[in-house]
Amino acid sequence: MAPKAAQTAPIPSAAQVGVIVIGYNDAGHIADAVLSALRQGAGVAEVVAVDDGSTDDTARVLADLARRYRRVRVVRRRGNSGGCGTPRNDGLRRATARYVMFLDSDDVLLPGAVDALLAAAARHHAPVVAGACVRRELPGHREVRWQQSLYRAEAVHDSPAERPRLVRDTLCVNKLYARAFLQGHGITFPEGAFRYEDFVFTARVLAAAPRIAIVPDAVYGWQVRRSAERPSISLDRNGPDNWRSRLAAHRRSVEIFEEAGQKQLAHAARVKFLDYDLRMYLRELGGHSAAHREAWWQLTRAYLAGFDAAELAAARAPARWIARVLLAAEHPRDLRRLIELAGRPARLLPPYARVEGRPVWDVDLPGVLLDGIDTKPLRRLPVTVEAEPVVSARTRLLRIRVHEIYGRLAAAGPLTVDLELRHREDGAIGLTRDAVLTPEAGRDRGAGLGPETGRVRDAGLGPEGGRVRDAGLGPEGGSAPGEGISSWSAEVLLDLDALAVRTRGSPPDVWDLRVRLHCADGSSLSTGVRAAGPGLRRTAVPSRGHGVLLVQPYATTGGSLALRIAPGPRAAVAVVTRKLRRAARRR
């Protein structure tokens, strides 16, 4: 709550921003959203809070805020519009400030957001200013910057055509807009139950070719609550209707660019669809029913049929390979391989087929060329590295397996693999120690690192100690050096006590795993580790420093391996208690 002096002080003449907050049945969060706008300080002239026909306590919460804070004005709709576009348009019509921003009821503006955006608008005379959005996965508080490459440094573009990659940031909420610019170009949101309305709004903004300023400041906190009883519109993906709505919004965005003569932006939007939207939804396909998968497949094939060869070629290799499989196959096939290829990092699983010497998806799809497999540097190939955790009272190790890919690894000659554990919250990692390694060792040779590190280990790979699997590459495998080798293996010891030192007395910490593979020809690659084997379960193990550790290796949403560690009996009991409470609530 703001101090009383701030509540009763007159609105300063410098106030230039109206924040439009929309909400529906979100009484538990909307006050935090409104207060995050008010706490921006003197730059905020008004907060226009639009209640989209809520039936819970949202109206009461907003009325109370309006009584306490004279900058808050409430607009209450009689019925729910079914989407986010209509209440945002209502807020736009009621706003009077020079600039406007949009804020959802379950999100927050980050401290200093308005000052950073306003300063850039004045400095660059830009009617549109965009700042970084931080995506927060709750309740775990993991933070990831949205479209990070766009917000590394301050920049100004006289027109979006100078930076077509701007189409990748489809959010409307991390930006400041001159209200006169929006009114002058008639830019509004789609009305009614239109999902992904920000796709269309952002396309209309970019198609109007404004001068756009970019600031690296984090301005918007996007709070993602996947366990919420009522998921947000974008997270409600239980049926194919969500994908159908996303396709419709993307199609309309491309049409807007084309109608405005912005061919570069239309091309960039289609490439973005392949690189981002297609891969994101494909990654989730394995958890849906056969009927859902079939419907998704047909919808996607129909949409991709409108893409030209140049748009497919401009997408990253995993995306264009996926698109070619979809276009070539009338019904769902090879879903496990496609889902792994759609992951981040992308992983290409066997078979590794060649037809007439060319790498292809499979022998029965000879037209689906995997271009670049034979020419790209090894570090850019979707190599699959698996790790099977073996954690018990006596054993604490990872069994790592590096899979061949069209003979490229055999030709490079894998020698060693470095394992890196990165702390998810603060990104802390360990430093590699110098060690003499032999390719036949196949297991950890290094001494322990300090307890403050992320534990990097170096292991040897080779045909003897590495336990090579002689499964063969098939008749199309070619004659690369090492033909017949389909994988390399190694075992790496885990010092769980050292990992647990920095988490004493705190909730369980999570460590993400990456590896760097070193080859005889001097090449190397870094990638995430795919979770494998039966060891993905919670285990209590004895600990020298903590008495007991609760260790849970698990597969992330993308299939990568992570370790969750809770040190000490009290932490272990707390973890189990929380799990039992969640189970009770579900019942």
What's CA 288's distance to the chain center, in Å?
Answer: 20
Using pLDDT thresholds of 50, 70 and 90, give the confidence band for residue 3: very low
pLDDT of residue 548: 86
Instruction: Give CA–CA dist 519/41, Å, rounded.
Output: 56
Q: Which residue among 236, 270, 290 closes a domain?
A: 236
Strand segments, DSSP code E, in 155-233 are 155-157, 175-178, 212-225
HEC-encoded secondary structure of 18-82: EEEEEECCCCCCHHHHHHHHHCCCCCEEEEEEEECCCCCCHHHHHHHHHHHCCCEEEEECCCCCC
| Lowest-pLDDT choice from 26-35, 112-121, 338-347, 439-448 | 439-448
Tokens 């094939």 belong to residue: 301
Q: Which residue among 214, 236, 258 closes a domain?
A: 236
397 in the same domain as 469: yes
Q: Is the pLDDT of residue 456 over 90?
A: no
pLDDT digits (tens, 9 = 90+) for 572-583: 566 566 666 655
Centre a 10 Å sphere on the Cβ of residue 307 and count the other Cβ atoms it contains. 17
pLDDT of residue 187: 98
Q: At what angle do helices 197-207 and 241-259 cross, to 10 degrees?
A: 10
pLDDT of residue 233: 59
Q: Is the pLDDT of residue 522 over 60?
A: yes
Q: Which residue among 320, 345, 375 closes a domain?
A: 375
The single-letter code of the amino acid at 240 is P
Instruction: Give CA–CA dist 507/523, Å, rounded.
Output: 40
259 in the same domain as 334: yes
Pairing of strands 128-138, 212-225: parallel
Span 231-235, average pLDDT = 57
- Residues sharing a CB contact under 8 Å with residue 166, sequence separation 6 or more, in sequence order: 130, 150, 157, 160, 206, 212
264 in the same domain as 219: no
100 in the same domain as 157: yes
Residue 115 lies in domain: 4-236
pLDDT digits (tens, 9 = 90+) for 129-160: 999 999 887 666 667 889 999 999 999 999 99
169 in the same domain as 285: no
Look up residue 449 and give its two tokens: 């690192």
Phi, psi of 146 (to 5 degrees): -75, 130
Domain count, the chain: 3
332 in the same domain as 218: no
pLDDT digits (tens, 9 = 90+) for 555-567: 987 889 999 888 8
544 in the same domain as 420: yes
431 in the same domain as 286: no
Instruction: Give CA–CA dist 169/343, Å, rounded.
Output: 20
pLDDT digits (tens, 9 = 90+) for 535-551: 898 888 888 777 888 88
445 in the same domain as 387: yes
On the 0-12 / 13-18 / 19+ scale of CB atoms within 10 A, 277 is buried
Pairing of strands 72-76, 128-138: unpaired
Instruction: Give CA–CA dist 212/126, Å, rounded.
Output: 6
| % of the chain beyond a pLDDT of 70 | 80
418 in the same domain as 368: no
The single-letter code of the amino acid at 554 is Y
560 in the same domain as 417: yes
Region of 499 (left: φ > 0; alpha: ψ -120 to 50; beta: rest) is alpha
552 in the same domain as 470: yes
- Residues sharing a CB contact under 8 Å with residue 540, sequence separation 6 or more, in sequence order: 548, 549, 550, 551, 572
Region of 113 (left: φ > 0; alpha: ψ -120 to 50; beta: rest) is alpha
